[in-house]
Structure 1
Amino acid sequence: MIQKIFFVVCIFTAMSFAKTNSEVKTFVIEDNEVEIIIIYPDKIVQGESIHLMGIMKNRYKNAVMGGLTLSFPQIRYTNGTYAKNTFDSISSYSPPDKIYSGITKRNIKSKYYMVEGWEKKWNRGVEKQFFIELKVPSGISHLLVNVRGVLVFGKKKSNRKELAIPSVSFAKDQQGYSVRQLSIPIYKKRTIKKNTTIKKPVEEDYKKQTVTGTGFFINDNILITNQHVVEECKNIEIVRNGYQAKAKIKSFDKTNDLAVLVSDTPNKSFLKFRGGKGVRIGESIIAMGYPLGDLLGTNIKLTLGNISSLNGLLNDSTKLQLTAPVQHGNSGGPLLDNHGNVVGVIYAGLKNSIAQNVNLAIKDNVARMFLDANDVSYNLDMNISKIEVVDIADEAKKSIVQVICHK
């Protein structure tokens, strides 16, 4: 146990360029090779709306159907707004709507608000998601959200079986099914009295610093990078061979270390995210970026490797582990598959005597959920046929820039 704790401490102290803070958080359930992720705001103010995104991925086997359900024990009636739904259907229920009880095996009256997405023929490796906006009720200190999923196997009722996620839990929802419960803190709205002067903290004098990283365009004037690359920037420059522009931060997610930038000069090329099936262990990948600033030269660099794990440190399901070498300055760069599609965003590398050649990337589905939540458009490519690395590099380098943060 002591060795394990020591190893974990070494891992975290060796992180070369990861950051942690809280703006948006993730709630993860992994059970029976099924993964559910809820993305939610870390802070909610009473009387305001909350935006939640739910995603469920089937890593188990092909199912005849399946669903993701969120229910809210403190909310009886509400008009939820849905968006970015990829389920075949999405439905909501409020009292006195009828819902099926897993305990009584019959329909009962609902007691509180519930929303669920259902998918027919849910194949292995496929993920589904929906986004919901609803009003936060007054008079509560925490918003409770019941989260569960189900996969159904067997076309005939006689041989039908269900796989519940979570499989076991002390918490049950109004239908009697096991759930994991998410609790989100609610804050009271602050009011400022008239004629009150708000004083900002005095900024300490410090030597001007420049931080560099990498970013890549996902449409003609929007690019994505790591949040820690552009944190506390006064000015942001983005450059590559034949292109130079200024950029501003459009949105960011400190928890998942992602940021969206808007360029003041359009770029003709952009990268597409991989559609369809996710990456597999052992799959070949390509990392591109601008490591170590000017030390290695100003031209873009490329390294090759493989996916070594589908989870990050301590089974972090939002990350991938890879063997392609990355350095300071690679942060925010794209991780590409053999067709040149984005499968991740370079995040961190571990450098110590215990962990060697262990590097991390943020999964593409996490990046896409962040983009969806901020209404940023991007493109998917379902084609995964292999292209020569030199051809991928020639095309991809037109979309990848060095991000220079002036503090």
Structure 2
Amino acid sequence: MRTEQTAQKNYLSKVAQEIKPSGIRKFFDLASQMENVISLGVGEPDFVTPWNVCEASLASMEQGYTAYTANAGLLELREAISQYLESKFQTAYDPKTELLVTVGASQAIDLSFRAILNPGDEVLVVEPSFVAYAPTVSLAGGVPVPVPTSHENNFKLMPDMLERAITNKTKAILLCFPSNPTGATMTKEELEQIARIIEKHDLIVLSDEIYAELSYDHEHYSIARIPEMRERTILISGFSKAFAMTGWRLGYVAGPQVFLQAMLKIHQYTMMCAPTMAQYGALEALTNGLDDVQKMIRSYRQRRNYFVKACREIGLECHTPGGAFYAFPSIRATGLTSDEFAERLLEEERVAVVPGSVFGSGGEGHIRCSYARSLEELQEAIKRMGRFVQKYVKQ
């Protein structure tokens, strides 16, 4: 009779066995089993999806729009996305051939890697990075290669670090600015320096811009706007973060037709199309919901300013994140590892944060705190964190 361990070895793929569970979900699950916990862990807006968006989705069902859409998504939605990207970010895409509506930005990332990677191709992943990036590269047969950033440079990608990581096996680079988990952003001039290296080595760019709208200190600038980058850039975004639609699972991918055709084939066989009702909701969000987005952005900016300043006041060095809704303070003054800090903070003060180590080795010595919480919750969290930090700094 086979033991469970033998069955696992024989029946499961090597990739599935080696991929680690999400470090974010680990702390979220622990926090959900405890009382009086303030969770700064999961990256999700605390706003409810605006009612007009929900109403549009309900109306689509009432009108009988419950069948499949085109594989690429409703043409009306793709046209609205195209108009939005051009007016908001000055990136133009043909809605018929260069846009694909996906089940969240996560599917867009998965499709992108599966469309471009051959076994053994290396993908540069700028770290600290979202926990799903490296595993998604591995699932597509590629090899994730970390490119570190640091607190000293505000977690921006530096040209010398990029150049150093490139080998003859490097095929692509994954960028995420504004960044999850650091909130780092890149200016036009900084991206142009990176672009020169990417072009020199003929790399493909996957640019995850899901937090593009949540840029506080300067307008978001997409690397796809740089003329020589458009033909090699796959732009990924969606409605989860800025539009408070995480549970709707709706994203999109934009890029040159050659990439989109390959992705569409994979999408046809694995997903068919994104949920119809969610697409009608997203169409309403782009048509009549942009004022709501601006209200949310103003609130996040206020909370960012408070939380970063408060972290510094309790003894945690913290750079000012230019975007997203995360702070990434250093906890080195406590002498604890990221895991130790997060575990003890949860046990002793009932505040849930994510250890920086789950975002790659460059995240060690930091914690990720989502400030997408009410100001009252953030104030209480800081009060508890201050007690905790002082106790360990004094030892």
Q: Normalising by the residue count of structure 1, what TM-score does the alignment of the two structures yield? A: 0.23
Q: Which has the higher strand share?
A: 1
Q: Which structure has the highest helix share of the two?
A: 2
If asked which structure has higher relative contact order (CA below 8 Å, sep 6+), I would say 2
Could you say which structure has the larger radius of gyration?
Answer: 1
